[in-house]
Amino acid sequence: MHDQPAPDDVPDGHAPAAAAAEGADGRALPVVRLRPKANARAIRHGFPWIYADELVSDRRTKAMQAGALAVLEDAERAALGVVTVNPASRIVARMLDADPAAVIGRGWLAARLARALALRQTLFDAPFYRLVHAEADGLPGVVIDRFGDAAVIQPNAAWADRLLPDLAAALADVTGVTRIVMNGSGRARGLEGLDERTEVIAGEIAAPVEVPMNGAIYLADLTGGQKTGLFYDQRPNHAFAQRLARGGRVLDVFSHVGGFALAALAAGAAGASCVDGSAPALALAAGGARAMGMADRLETRQGDAFAAMEQLAAEGRRFDMVICDPPAFAPSKQALDAGLRAYERVARLAAPLVGPGGFLGLCSCSHAATLDLFRNASAHGIGRGGRRMQLIHTGFAGPDHPTLPQLAESGYLKALFFRLDG
Name the percent of the chain in helix, strand, coil, to the closest 5: 35, 30, 35
User: Which of helix, strand or coil describes residue 97?
Assistant: strand
* Alpha carbon distance 61, 76 (integer Å): 18
Region of 359 (left: φ > 0; alpha: ψ -120 to 50; beta: rest) is: beta
Element (H, E) at 417: strand 414-421
Query: What are the two backbone dihedrals, phi and then psi, of residue 348, each rounded to the nearest 5 degrees?
Result: -65, -40
Q: Tell me if residue 365 is catalytic.
A: yes
* Alpha carbon distance 45, 30 (integer Å): 23
Q: What is the dihedral of CA 16, 22, 26, 29, to 10 degrees?
A: -130
List the catalytic residue out of 274, 324, 363, 365: 365
Q: Are 198 and 126 in contact, with CB atoms under 8 Å apart?
A: no
Greatest CA separation found in the chain?
A: 72
Contacts of residue 108, Cβ cutoff 8 Å, sequence gap at least 6: 24, 97, 102
* Alpha carbon distance 268, 264 (integer Å): 6
Residues annotated as catalytic are: 365
